[in-house]
């Protein structure tokens, strides 16, 4: 369970997240949608305590992220699959993460197997394609067998088979009762994967509803989404000055 | 959280940082290079007999290579921290351990352990090689024990200083450049500071190294009259202060 309450973040005069409140409930895949620069990644970083909110709060299972002991055993995180040290092997990358949170070493090979990277465990990450890096990022998120998953654009760079694999994985993680928040800009894929969507644009909450309610017909999410954010965004997709 | 739980969590982070340090090949090359430059320059100095008449064998063998070792140690410390900012890995590190002071402590521990051990190996190696090659030459030998331990500590402290700089500066090249300035500038620019020179250079990493190695360079006009071990204590105090400042900044700043 993730609870975001009146969360705001300003950088100088720019308000990047503006009084956003929503809950992410267990047992569902919740899609986190918004145009480029809407504040999705900043919201995720605020939830993880990587940036300090200017106002409001974010809690995971009732605690702020910094209060969690061994946080990776509560929350699985994928922020930027390319933000790794390319000189390290995939296995070593997962090994230090496991050690940092007291996670059994055997989990390293279990998660590599789950994401289909067991054959390249000993290769340096800089040799990986973007899709392989995403799989490694998903492996890192699964390492601590967490009840909550926060994944920022995990489908980026995945091929058709990879996207299908990710969809199945996310749905089964939610079916096990986990809380899954996944951001994406791929509407069609979101419609297939998510049960619920949270939409933000220009830092503000635009929608927070079950997908069946927002987009009752298959293929209609993109139209609904475009309409929702249209009056906030000009036709070039750039932000309007306030 | 009980004290035992805290100790367990801190030791987890230390082993995680140890894995990070040893799993990047270039880090191991830097450690190997520290041993190689100290022993290599001990050979060069001895073979070319480029010691001052009043130099000790120890000072001649360790001062030149030791200064280069300090530069490498500072660069390693700086890169161990700043490369995480360069790649963005720092977000994952702080997600894994939101107690950022603990991250700094763990990094400082592994950097100090790796550089201390490497520095000791290099200092002992340089000393033995110098003594062997200069056997029978007309130089005072110098006292290697406990000087080599102090030199190892100086190498480790310079690495920790690099780490603190890397945590504040965050840009890998900027951090490495800054820590090199910390090592070299007091010696290079000291003469420009007039009467202040012994204060500027006396407790700098390279000044402490000269004193510990009993080099003829370590004259009161350049590095002051403060003895080798008190100078090492001053350096230790400065590095600790730097780490505290870095910890305060890292704790407050958005990652």
Identify the closest residue of chain B to A126 by CA–CA distance: B87
| The pLDDT value given to residue B116 | 98
d(CA A191, CA A224): 11
Section A200-205 average pLDDT: 94
Whether this prediction's pTM lies above 0.90 is answered by yes
Say if residue A187's pLDDT is above 90: no
Give me the pLDDT at residue B203, please. Answer: 84
* Mean of pLDDT values over A61-73: 96
Contact B213, B63 (CB under 8 A): yes
Helix (H, G, I), strand (E, B) or coil at B34: helix
* CA distance to A114, A131, A158, A166, per residue, from A161 (Å): 15, 11, 8, 9
Instruction: Report the DSSP beta bridge partners of residue B148.
Output: none
Q: Percentage of residues in chain B with pLDDT exceeding 70?
A: 100
Q: Do B12 and A99 touch (CB under 8 A)?
A: yes
| Burial class, A98, CB count within 10 angstroms (exposed 0-12 / middle 13-18 / buried 19+) | buried
Q: Which residues of B touch A82 (CB under 8 A)?
A: 88
Percentage with pLDDT > 70 across chain A:
95
Burial group, residue B2, by CB count within 10 angstroms (0-12, 13-18, 19+)? exposed
B29 interfacial to chain A (CB closer than 8 Å): no
> B98–A97: do the CB atoms touch at under 8 Å?
no
Strand partners, A150: A77, A181
Asked if the Cβ–Cβ distance from A83 to B95 is below 8 Å, we say no
**pLDDT (tens digit, 9 = 90+) per residue, B207-232?**
999 999 999 888 888 888 899 999 99
The CA distance from B21 to B108, in Å, is 11
Number of domains comprising chain B: 1
Give the pLDDT confidence of A139-153 residue by residue, as tens digits.
999 999 999 999 999
Q: Which domain holds residue B91?
A: 3-252
The answer to whether B87 contacts A83, with C-beta atoms less than 8 Å apart, is yes
For the stretch A175-186, pLDDT in tens is 999 999 999 888
B95–A89: do the CB atoms touch at under 8 Å? Answer: no
From chain B, pick out residues whose CB is under 8 angstroms from the CB of A77. Answer: 92, 95
A32-45 mean pLDDT = 94
> What mean pLDDT, rounded, does chain A reach?
93
A100–B98 CB contact, under 8 Å:
no
Residue of A65, A82, A87 with shortest CB distance to B98: A65
For residue A226, is pLDDT > 60?
yes
Set of chain A residues whose Cβ sits within 8 Å of the Cβ of B255 = 45, 50-51
> What percent of chain B lies above the pLDDT cut of 90?
82
B8, B26, B92 member nearest A83 (Cβ)? B92
Residue A239 has pLDDT above 70, yes or no: no
- pLDDT over 90 at B194, yes or no: no
- pLDDT tens string A77-128: 999 999 999 999 999 999 999 999 999 999 999 999 999 999 999 999 999 9
Q: How would residue A242 be classed by pLDDT, with cut points 50, 70 and 90?
A: very low
Between A82, A84, A100, which is nearest B97 by CB?
A100
Kindly list the distances between the CA atom of residue B156 and the CA atoms of A152, B115, B175, B210, B242, in Å, as whole numbers in the listed order.
39, 5, 17, 16, 14
Quick one: A218 exposed, middle or buried, by C-beta within 10 A (0-12, 13-18, 19+)? exposed
Residues B126-175 have pLDDT tens digits of: 999 999 999 988 899 999 999 999 999 999 999 999 999 999 999 999 99
pLDDT tens sequence across B55-92? 999 999 999 999 999 999 999 999 999 999 999 999 99
B194/A167: higher pLDDT: A167
What ipTM is given for this predicted complex? 0.94
State the average pLDDT over residues A199-227.
90
Using the Cβ of B25 and the Cβ atoms of chain A, whether some distance falls under 8 Å is answered with yes
Residue A241 has pLDDT above 70, yes or no: no
């Amino acid at each position: 369970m993730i609870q975001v309450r009146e969360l705001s973040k300003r950088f100088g005069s720019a308000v990047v997240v503006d009084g956003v409140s929503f809950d992410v409930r267990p047992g569902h895949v919740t899609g986190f949608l918004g145009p480029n620069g809407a504040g999705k990644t900043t919201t995720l970083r605020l939830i993880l305590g990587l940036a300090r909110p200017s106002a409001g709060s974010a809690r995971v299972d009732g605690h702020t992220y910094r209060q969690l002991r061994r946080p990776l055993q509560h929350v699985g995180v994928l922020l930027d699959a390319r933000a790794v040290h390319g000189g390290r092997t995939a296995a070593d990358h997962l090994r230090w993460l496991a050690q940092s949170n007291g996670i059994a070493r055997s989990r390293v090979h279990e998660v590599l197997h789950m994401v289909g990277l067991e054959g390249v465990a000993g290769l340096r990450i800089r040799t990986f394609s973007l899709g392989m890096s995403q799989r490694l990022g998903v492996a890192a998120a699964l390492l601590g067998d967490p009840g909550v998953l926060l994944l920022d654009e995990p489908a980026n760079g995945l091929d058709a088979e990879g996207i299908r694999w990710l969809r199945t994985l996310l749905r089964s993680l939610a079916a096990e009762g986990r809380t899954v928040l996944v951001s994406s800009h791929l509407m069609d894929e979101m419609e297939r994967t998510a049960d619920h969507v949270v939409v933000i644009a220009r830092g503000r909450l635009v929608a927070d509803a079950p997908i069946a309610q927002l987009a009752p017909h298959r293929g209609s999410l993109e139209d609904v989404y475009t309409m929702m954010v249209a009056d906030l965004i000009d036709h070039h997709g750039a932000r309007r000055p306030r | 959280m009980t004290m035992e739980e805290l100790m367990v969590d801190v030791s987890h982070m230390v082993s995680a940082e140890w894995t990070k340090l040893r799993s990047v090949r270039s880090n191991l090359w830097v450690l190997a290079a520290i041993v190689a430059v100290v022993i290599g320059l001990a050979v060069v100095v001895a073979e070319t007999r480029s010691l001052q008449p009043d130099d000790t064998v120890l000072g001649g063998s360790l001062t030149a290579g030791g200064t280069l070792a300090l530069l490498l140690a500072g660069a390693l410390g700086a890169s161990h921290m700043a490369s995480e900012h360069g790649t963005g890995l720092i977000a994952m590190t702080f997600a894994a351990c939101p107690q950022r002071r603990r991250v700094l402590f763990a990094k400082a521990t592994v950097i100090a352990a790796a550089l201390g051990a490497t520095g000791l190996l290099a200092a002992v190696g340089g000393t033995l090689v110098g003594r062997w090659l200069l056997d029978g030459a007309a130089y005072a030998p110098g006292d290697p024990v406990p000087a080599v331990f102090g030199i190892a500590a100086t190498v480790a402290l310079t690495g920790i200083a690099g780490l603190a700089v890397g945590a504040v500066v965050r840009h890998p090249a900027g951090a490495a450049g800054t820590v090199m300035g910390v090592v070299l500038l007091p010696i290079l620019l000291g003469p420009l500071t007039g009467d202040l020179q012994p204060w500027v250079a006396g407790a700098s990493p390279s000044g402490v190294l000269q004193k510990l190695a009993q080099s003829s360079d370590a004259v009161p006009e350049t590095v002051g009259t403060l003895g080798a071990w008190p100078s090492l204590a001053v350096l230790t105090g400065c590095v600790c202060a730097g780490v505290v400042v870095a910890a305060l900044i890292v704790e407050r700043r958005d990652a």
